[in-house]
A = this chain, B = another copy of it.
């Protein structure tokens, strides 16, 4: 299988079959070896503060965790010598977050939010990604660092 097709299939599966991502409206919009992107729109149910219309900190942490996982997954898949459905499935089954740091920079205001991730450490056991969250105006809302078991 070609890498691009695999990425497309994983993206589709994760966009439609991870219940929590659907609940929050997260859509993977880019999945590459070194870069991933998730978008979602403001929805009142994501509100974390009854007095202000801003994202719950948990939404921010969730999307950063997820987008970091996507870039790590892309990288894991790229390293499989002869990728088959079973081999990819087995590999992705091992992916899990070890720890996640989220830094909140600005109140999460906006219409559309874009979370991006870049891979920082590749490894056979552990990988590290850095993530950012911006709104549609380009305002930097949060960033994070995630360490993942691969």
Contact = CB atoms under 8 A, between A and B. Distances in A.
Interface of A: 13-14, 17-24, 44-51, 56-59, 61-63, 65-66, 69, 89, 93, 96-105, 107, 120-121, 125-126, 128, 130, 140, 143, 145, 147, 149
A145 B120 CA distance: 14
A99 B93 CA distance: 23
A56 B20 contact: yes
> Dominant SS at the A interface?
mixed
Given A20-B45, A20-B56, A61-B61, A147 B13 contact: no
A27 to B, nearest CB: 15
A18 B56 contact: yes
Contacts of A93: 51
A98 B41 CA distance: 23
Contacts of A51: 89, 93
A145 B145 contact: yes
Contacts of A21: 56
Given A65-B57, A105-B128, A48 B18 contact: yes
A20 to B, nearest CB: 4
Contact of A102 (B47, B100, B130): B100
Nearest to A143: B120
A23 to B, nearest CB: 5
